[in-house]
A and B are shown apart, each in its own frame.
Chain A
Amino acid sequence: MSIKHLSAVAVASALLSHSVQAKTEVEWWHAMGGALGQKVNEIAADFNAGQSEYEIKPVYKGSYAETMTSAIAAFRAKQQPAIVQVFEVGTATMMGAKQVIYPVHELMEDTKEPFDSGHYLSAVTGYYTTSDGKMVSMPFNSSTPVLYYNKDMFKKAGIESAPKTWKEMEQVSKQLIASGAQCGFSTTWQSWTQIENFGARNNVAMASNNNGFDGFDSEFQFNREPFVKHIERLQKWSESGIFKYGGRQSSGMPLFYTQECAMTMGSSAGLSGIQESMAGVDVGVAELPYDDTLIMKPQNTIIGGASLWALRGHDSEQYKGVAQFFSYLSSAEVQADWHQFTGYLPITTEAYELTQKEGFYDQNPGTDIAVLQMTSVEPTANSKGVRFGNFLQVRDIINQELEAVWAGNKSAKQGLDDAVRLGNQQLRRFERTQK
């Protein structure tokens, strides 16, 4: 091909690409693989088709940690995307980086996009708001821990309903074991379910400064009596088979799948996965147990998952696109569809009501438990969420110390004391980087 031809091709392609770029492109980095990734692409495609000014381009960046690391590297190289999905443990890091993030409430105001934070479920958005109630990032995929139970095994043991309190957890487990079950219950994500959410559910703080919301000089308090008692009884139960530890994160799920344990505590978004893995078994969903010696009416639980952050360094035209996309994402139809497809919590009341009206909860019993658990009471300072720097290291520390407790190498008090001491070192280290 001659130079002349080549340049003609180049000009033509430049013209073509120009006509495509008439739409303002907005990059969105996310960590949703598999079916969730396809759903993300679908949402973006629907948004793109619905208007002609903006083009949302979703880019899959791997795991949560990988997505966050690449966004940070990109920011350092001034190549950051306009939107990035960050998991809940990264929240404090993002929030502290004021020159990096464009808070959602500011973004909506600057772009004059209609926005009313009152439409959102406060138990969900609370995790991502400042202590004076301003929404900083847009909740995207949020879930909360619930209790899953094997109805077939319950029937065999002659148990009518799921346990509501920790006292009932013990009684029910004993009955189950008497009827031939190998273990009563297990748990996944132990720091999230047994420390963070134990505190929220029973309205006990796990750290000072309203669980870290009010400043960086917070101190952990989860070595106080309520937590120690809880971990102590779990330790005692792990000796008698009532409780069985199955590993970090969600690697304890096989204990429930294989019907070794009759109950487990896990993310509410895991329901469809559980039903798929346990075809033919009747699985029930119940609210997370509470401690009736601590509280009469249990509090809401804390969410996990990820939220979307707008990053600075782009032009105002792109931010208009981001704002419109966030509005679109919050609309009842999109939220209801996302909630029903994925099992993640809806972020607005409207989406919940729409799902109800469509009869989804009647057809899929158990899918509304998490929403009810989140919305039945107003969140308190102790149940709004937790916000800690170096939270990933802190969770590793908690995992490590709890494992020493389950293995019987440490007492509950010793394990929690050590976790608090090491955790506070991490908080102090983070505090020094935030000026």
Chain B
Amino acid sequence: MSSPVIFKNRYLPYALIAPQLLITIVFFILPAGQAIFQSAQLEDAFGLSREFVGLENFINLFNDSYYLESFFTTLKFSVSVAVLALVCALILSAFAEHIVRGATFYRTFLIWPYAVAPVVAGSLWLFLFDPSIGVVTDMLEWFGINWNPTLNGDHAMWMVIITSTWKQISYNFLFFLAALQSVPKSLHEAAAIDGSGPIKRFITISFPLISPTSFFLLVINFVYAFFDTFAVIHAMTQGGPGNSTSTLVYKVYNDGFIGLDLGSSAAQSVILMVLVALLTVFQFKYVEKKVAY
């Protein structure tokens, strides 16, 4: 039986949560408020002239067929990155758990890509995928694929998906490995005595038991794909060819930081904020039900 904790001093609880509140206000509420304020303005780069335009920035965006297309581009991109990064990392960590010799070596190397800056990762993979000098291009030629991400939108999309996935696998790998190692050995031994093989044990024992980690990673990976991938896209395709790799966050970055159109960029980030909030609510409401803590 649990009893509610009662503070004798009525100010103490506020004092205790103050640091957390302060951080939330300074690093989240204020910037978000600023973004909402900016999204209703039209101003020049230096902030010399400022005009209140209400919802005009939003209306312009929703009247722009390219902007609407980039919703689908973002969805395609984010789902692919999240799924690929989770599956690859899970497979790798399942194998890593069984390695006897050189395990530290193997793990260290798998973690490395996480330390590579997104722009550097973008340039690296761009070099590999270059239609004239890329190594991957040459290999694809053996299979009869005429690889050209500068003109073929699907190729460009695959290129940014693979690069963004590659960067995220390490992070997922770390969490999956830790989760798998916390699965009690006794369960595996019991199942093994009953005659089930390693794959069956993984599916029926490990996978359900690590579901809280998987769910956490699912949310994190979506947030990563939505927010943290603009540098990769900037380095590799600049949203092209055509409009095919222009995701929502890339447009926020490009219009705001490079194009210096703060109003439109702020409106886009407000839309993105709402979208990710909805997505997270959805994940917690529906996917989390399948999670066994």
Q: A residues bordering B, Cβ < 8 Å? A: 65, 68-69, 72, 75-76, 93, 96-97, 99-100, 245-249, 251-252, 254-255, 257-258, 260, 390, 392-393, 396, 399-401, 403-404, 406-407, 409, 422, 425, 429, 432-435
- Residues of chain B within 8 A (CB-CB) of A97 are 44-46, 48
A100–B45 CA distance with the chains assembled, in angstroms: 11
- Residues of chain B within 8 A (CB-CB) of A65 are 257-258
Partner of A246, one of B43, B150, B153, B240: B150
Docked-complex contact A393 and B255, CB < 8 angstroms: yes
- Residues of chain A within 8 A (CB-CB) of B254 are 396
Docked-complex contact A76 and B47, CB < 8 angstroms: yes
Nearest CB of chain B from residue A48's CB, rounded to whole Å: 30
Docked-complex contact B150 and A247, CB < 8 angstroms: yes
> Can you list 8 pairs linking A and B with CB atoms under 8 Å apart?
A93-B45, A246-B150, A251-B150, A392-B260, A396-B239, A404-B241, A407-B151, A433-B44
A255–B137 CA distance with the chains assembled, in angstroms: 14
Interface status of B132 (Cβ within 8 A of chain A): yes
A403–B245 CA distance with the chains assembled, in angstroms: 13
Docked-complex contact B239 and A433, CB < 8 angstroms: no
- Residues of chain A within 8 A (CB-CB) of B257 are 65, 69
A399 with B240, Cβ < 8 A, contacts A251-B150, A392-B259 known: yes
A400 with B255, Cβ < 8 A, contacts A72-B46, A246-B150, A429-B42 known: no
Nearest CB of chain B from residue A253's CB, rounded to whole Å: 9
Docked-complex contact B48 and A99, CB < 8 angstroms: yes
Return the chain B residue nearest A64 by Cβ.
B258
Interface status of B133 (Cβ within 8 A of chain A): yes
A404–B242 CA distance with the chains assembled, in angstroms: 5
Interface string of B144-180 (1 = CB under 8 A from A): 0000001111000000000000000000000000000
A76 with B46, Cβ < 8 A, contacts A245-B150, A254-B130, A400-B243 known: yes
A242–B260 CA distance with the chains assembled, in angstroms: 38
A13–B235 CA distance with the chains assembled, in angstroms: 45
Docked-complex contact B132 and A390, CB < 8 angstroms: no
- Residues of chain B within 8 A (CB-CB) of A247 are 150, 240
A65–B45 CA distance with the chains assembled, in angstroms: 13
Docked-complex contact B46 and A400, CB < 8 angstroms: no
Interface string of B37-66 (1 = CB under 8 A from A): 000001111111101000000001000001
Docked-complex contact A93 and B44, CB < 8 angstroms: yes
A255–B148 CA distance with the chains assembled, in angstroms: 12
A248–B153 CA distance with the chains assembled, in angstroms: 14
- Residues of chain B within 8 A (CB-CB) of A435 are 49
Return the chain B residue nearest A406 by Cβ.
B151
Partner of A400, one of B45, B240, B264: B240
- Residues of chain A within 8 A (CB-CB) of B152 are 407
Please report which residues of chain B, range 106-132, place their CB below 8 angstroms from some CB of chain A when the two chains form the complex.
130-132
A434–B253 CA distance with the chains assembled, in angstroms: 23
A97–B152 CA distance with the chains assembled, in angstroms: 40
- Residues of chain A within 8 A (CB-CB) of B255 are 393
Q: Which of B47, B132, B257 has the most CB of A within 10 A?
A: B132
The 7 closest A-B pairs by CB, nearest first: A433-B44, A403-B241, A247-B150, A254-B132, A65-B258, A404-B242, A392-B259
